[in-house]
Amino acid sequence: MGRGTWDGASRASYASYTSSTVGKTTEEIYRSRNMDKDLNPFGVTRESCDSIENPQSTPIIIGLDVTGSMGILADTIARSGLGVAFDQLLDKKPVSDPHLMFMGIGDANCDSAPLQVSQFEGDACIIEQVSKLWIEHGGGGNHFESYNLPWYFAATHTKIDSVDKRGKKGYLFTCGDEEAPDPLTAAQIKRFIGDEVQGNISSEDLLRMAQEKYNCFHIIIEEGSYARSRLEKTRESWNKLMGQHAVGLSDHTKLAEAIVSIIQIAEGHTDVASGWTDDKTQQVIAQVAKNLPRPAATA
């Protein structure tokens, strides 16, 4: 998948969609009350393929926690974030020909749909898929959600030309307010993905598997109910697992801007905060950027 481009027609489609969300609650925007069959990760592979429209495709996965209070993330993506992500990736050009995939993340210990996966898309086709996400509002009484399910799926159930043809990794972002997850069990992988594995897989190993294909980052949503009460503990757990690839975000409405800025920095761009037009966004992005690893700057 991934044909088409984010052109004027796509922008118009998204503008029409965002207009339809005005005055609606998150539940009114996301009307699914169970997992849509088109987002079921069981036994499927998602592909980001080069095409005439996108000859140098770059896969970008954005995994959104949809438990508890974290429906705010999907709400932001619906109302503005999706358009900001595409527009700014194409305007700032940190990578070529972006293909976006969205995931919904829950808790594999207790939720019915701890992972939902769209296709990779390069145009307005992604709007319909995002709108099918089930905001389950689940999660358990533990200290984490299954942020490592996207790592397993991305490592084993995505086919991406950027790596296979050019040796260029894509990007994978998980976003949520709880701590780094416990291992995935073999039973969970079988139940939700359909794979038979020999035993449980630690988060460290799952991350390493995903990093074979993707530059992986986790964005801690500091406004979430869990992070608000246990922010230092949450930061510690993620820093231990991911180091500088775990970053805090103080304003969830700037999620798309943070993702674009992280990609810019990873691709060698500098002073990314000043590239945003308003003071509030510049302040938020400066905080996101300050501790990220810095490769050599692009020419």
Show contacts of 284-287: CB within 8 Å, 24+ apart.
284/249, 284/250, 284/251, 284/254, 284/257, 284/258, 285/254, 285/257, 285/258, 285/261, 287/248, 287/250
pLDDT at 299: 39
**CATH fold group of domain 34-289:** Rossmann fold (3.40.50)
pLDDT tens series, the chain, 299 aa: 666 899 999 999 999 999 999 999 999 999 999 999 999 999 999 999 999 999 999 999 999 999 998 999 999 999 999 999 999 999 999 999 999 999 999 999 999 999 999 999 999 999 999 999 999 999 887 999 999 999 999 999 999 999 999 999 999 999 999 999 999 999 999 999 999 999 999 999 999 999 999 999 999 999 999 999 999 999 999 999 999 999 999 999 999 999 999 999 999 998 999 999 999 999 999 999 998 998 754 43
Instruction: Tell me the β-bridge partners of 249.
Output: 221
pLDDT at 182: 96
Residue among 129, 33, 17, 115 nearest 66 (CA): 115
Q: Which residues contact 205 (CB under 8 A, 6 or more apart)?
A: none
Report strand pairing: 115-117 vs 98-105. Answer: antiparallel
Number of H helices, E strands in the chain: 13, 8
Which of 117, 108, 107 has its CA nearest to residue 137?
A: 107
Domain definitions of the chain by residue range: 34-289
